[in-house]
Amino acid sequence: MEHLSEKDRERLALTGLEVGMQNRCGSFFQVDQKVIQTTCGAEGIEMLPIAVALEKYDWVKDYYWNAVPKDKDKYTQYLAKQENPQGLVVIAQPGAKIEMPLQACLFLREEPVQHVHNIFIAREGSEINIISGCASSWQKEHGAHIGVTEIYVGKGAKVTSTMIHNWNPGISVFPRSAIIVEEDGTFLSNYVCMQPVKQINMYPTARLVGKNAVARFSSIVVATPGSILDLGSRTILAAEHTSTELVTRAITTGGKVISRGHVLGEKDNTRGHIECKGLILKDGIIHAIPEIEGTLTGTELSHEAAVGKIARQEIEYLMARGLSEEEATATIIRGFLDVKISGLPPVLQAQIDAAIDKAESGF
Amino acid sequence: MLDISDLHVSVDGTEVLHDINLHIGQGETHVLMGPNGSGKSTLLKAVMGFGGYAITSGSIVFKGKDITNVPIHERAHLGIGMMFQHPPAISGLKLGKLLVATSHMEKDAIEALAQSVNMDHFLDRDINVGFSGGEIKRSEVLQLKAQQPDFIMLDEPESGVDLENMNLMGKEIAALLEKDIHIVNRQRSGLIITHTGYILDYLEADQGHVLINGQIRCHGNPREILRVVKEKGYGECLRCKQM
């Protein structure tokens, strides 16, 4: 980490990377295609570079290109062709529970393309929090990041995945993620991107295959001028008594946000809800495309979406209490972005709050 | 404290208030009555400085300073406060956070203040989101208690409030207006819009005004005006003016 410039360290810190490992029980750090660090001090949890994991445990290959198909699209095909796959494998043994997050940091510095393949396996009854910070060097003008992440949430297990992005205006990003959740398992995803980027395109899919499985996706994004954020999340309610919630808060200050969402209810006693709220601060595009699809009487699906500007009445209300127009606007935006996610450890919430604070000063 | 002279106010290009003159001295509480749609709330909003209420002529002077064209928050800093009748609900903005932002008080002090109006369980709630009528009023009073304005405008403090809450509200508003201090030493002033006059069960008002069709038609003893309106309606005020 010593060979990073001060500026790059700051950029990484914004994605949640704790260089000194405070509040972290494990760490994985990949710069371009090189794994710099893999350490993990938590009992029952293993963090390994993917090449090492595939060699060490024969069974890991059963999880490799399983949730995400190799031929999904040209990006997965590109990754599947790589001879030296890089990325992180996390294995949580049955019953292993840690609240303190594991961090995975992917840093794009010099190469034109960074590709990673991550696999998170939470065995029965285990609980893990993973914070993935993805960033590019401040001097990196163009480049692409392609990442496949396969997450397997075992019976009664819980995985919280928090991803904070901090790219540059010339970087294109193509995450391809899929999650399989078994009986009584819980998957929580938090995604934050509030800094300029050329393009982000992703549509993670959670498949709830066991009874009582739950998936929640929350996204907080800001599209600055020139940024195109094509984001979505999808849950397939493939077992009885499963439920899901997809929540998005999107702001445009001149860029484009496409907020997709899809819930497919295909078993009885299933519930799903999509909520997208968009705030247009400066002329830009927020395009919400929520889809709910039910195939039988026992599924209950709903969605709500709203796009607009801040109501003048709200700003004036706060001004009447003594806040200036700028302070009132920032206070309302802060509230708008404040999506509290139940079950999120305070340290991760603090990380998200910090990302919001940082962006807020730019509004 | 407040001097309104020859004030004309238009909303969406239509004049709503015509030639309003009103003087409220230090320590005085005035009551503003009038039928629905007569322009009472418009007057309060124009004094607060809200957009959409265009002052086409006349002036508003507060503590000797002409505030006719001063932005809302500067009026608040000068000491003008307002209890809203229909405040907006702002999702995500916690009542407690707003109080911290506007009052610069410590967390403990805010909690104690919230307890005094039974709002301590609402500090972590989004402001006005799903609040009942009484809760909205208590939240407004709490915000004013944190703000401590010298001049308070109250837009129908009784509306949507049950008896128990009315009792609490009445006492709190009386305290905000320093009714426990003798008039000679009282610093705070107020302007209260009321239809029912229930607020007068909790505090004395010094003057009453009747606003009809955007004009102040009469001034006088608030209780007397209330009695006449109760008995004969606002028509009597119109006839009275013509005599």
Mean pLDDT computed over A172-191: 96
DSSP readout, B44-111? HHHHHT-TT-EEEEEEEEETTEE-TT--HHHHHHHTEEEE-SSPPP-TT-BHHHHHHHHH---HHHHH
Judge: B102–A321 Cβ closer than 8 Å, yes or no: yes
How far apart are the C-alpha atoms of A132 and A103, rounded to whole Å? 6
Q: Which residue has the higher pLDDT, B180 or A235?
A: A235
Q: Give the residue on A whose Cα is nearest the Cα of B85.
A: A317
Which of B71, B93, B102 has its CB closest to that of A332? B93
Residue A348, pLDDT > 80, answer: no
Amino acid occupying residue A145: H
Judge: B101–A335 Cβ closer than 8 Å, yes or no: no
In this structure, are residues A46 and A102 in contact, taking their beta carbons and an 8 Å threshold?
A: no
- What per-residue confidence (pLDDT) applies to B159? 87
- Helix B133-147 and helix B95-103: axis angle, to 10°? 20
Asked whether residue B235 is domain-assigned, the answer is: yes
> Within chain A, what is the greatest distance between any pair of CA atoms?
66
- What per-residue confidence (pLDDT) applies to A35? 84
Which of B72, B82, B90 has its CB closest to that of A335? B90
Which CATH number characterizes residue B174's domain? Answer: 3.40.50.300
Which of A311, A336, A337 has its CB closest to that of B88? A311
In the stretch 6-65 of chain B, residues with CB closer than 8 A to chain A read: 48, 50-52
Q: Give the residue on B whose Cα is nearest the Cα of A312.
A: B51
**pLDDT single digits (tens) A317-344:** 999 999 999 889 988 988 888 876 655 6
- Best-predicted range by mean pLDDT (A181-185, A302-306, B204-208): A181-185
In this structure, are residues A221 and A209 in contact, taking their beta carbons and an 8 Å threshold?
A: no
Which of A314, A319, A335 has its CB closest to that of B76? A319
Which of B73, B93, B97 has its CB closest to that of A319? B73
**pLDDT single digits (tens) A146-175:** 999 999 999 999 999 998 888 888 999 999
- What per-residue confidence (pLDDT) applies to B196? 87
Let me know the angle formed at the C-alpha of A269 by A263 and A270, rounded to the nearest 5 degrees: 15
- Whole-Å CA distances, B82 to A280, B153, B174: 29, 5, 15
Asked whether residue B32 is domain-assigned, the answer is: yes
**pLDDT single digits (tens) A194-233:** 888 999 999 999 999 999 999 999 999 999 999 999 999 9
Interface probe with A: pick from B11, B45, B74, B93, most Cβ of A within 10 Å: B93
pLDDT-derived band at A63, boundaries 50, 70, 90 = very high
- How many angstroms separate the CA of residue B206 from the nearest CA in chain A? 26
- What per-residue confidence (pLDDT) applies to B218? 87
Asked whether residue B103 is domain-assigned, the answer is: no
In the stretch 142-181 of chain B, residues with CB closer than 8 A to chain A read: 143, 147
The rounded percent of chain A whose pLDDT value lies above 70 is 94
Could you tell me the two tokens for A233? Answer: 């999340």
Asked whether residue B107 is domain-assigned, the answer is: no
End-to-end CA distance of chain B: 32
**Which structural domain range is residue B158 located in?**
2-88+153-242
- What per-residue confidence (pLDDT) applies to B243? 45
Asked whether residue B81 is domain-assigned, the answer is: yes
Which residues in chain A have Cβ-Cβ distances shorter than 8 Å to B152? Answer: none
- How many angstroms separate the CA of residue A333 from the nearest CA in chain B? 9
Q: Which residue has the higher pLDDT, B151 or A17?
A: B151
- Which of A199, A205, A104 shows the shortest CA–CA distance to A143? A199
Q: A with B: how many residue pairs have Cβ under 8 Å apart?
A: 69
Interface probe with B: pick from A218, A249, A276, A318, most Cβ of B within 10 Å: A318
Asked whether residue B67 is domain-assigned, the answer is: yes
- How many angstroms separate the CA of residue B223 from the nearest CA in chain A? 30
Asked whether residue B135 is domain-assigned, the answer is: no
Which residues in chain B have Cβ-Cβ distances shorter than 8 Å to A312? Answer: 51-52
Task: Identify the DSSP state of B126.
Answer: B
What are the residues of chain A with a beta carbon less than 8 Å away from any beta carbon of chain B? 311-314, 316-325, 327-328, 331-332, 334-339
Q: Give the residue on B whose Cα is nearest the Cα of A325.
A: B73
Judge: A319–B82 Cβ closer than 8 Å, yes or no: no
Mean pLDDT computed over A275-294: 94
Q: Is the CB of B88 inside 8 Å of chain A's CB atoms?
A: yes
Residue A244, pLDDT > 90, answer: yes
pTM: 0.84
Q: Is the CB of B130 inside 8 Å of chain A's CB atoms?
A: no
Which of B52, B73, B94 has its CB closest to that of A322? B73
Asked whether residue B141 is domain-assigned, the answer is: no
- Which of A153, A42, A156 shows the shortest CA–CA distance to A100? A42
Residue B240, pLDDT > 50, answer: yes
Which of B50, B94, B147 has its CB closest to that of A321? B147
Question: What counts of helices (H) and strands (E) characterise chain A?
Answer: 6, 20
Judge: A313–B73 Cβ closer than 8 Å, yes or no: no
- What per-residue confidence (pLDDT) applies to A31? 86
Which residues in chain A have Cβ-Cβ distances shorter than 8 Å to B72? Answer: 316, 319-320
pLDDT-derived band at A275, boundaries 50, 70, 90 = very high
- What per-residue confidence (pLDDT) applies to A341? 63
Question: How many domains are contained in chain B?
Answer: 1
In which residue are the tokens 């007397």 written?
B224
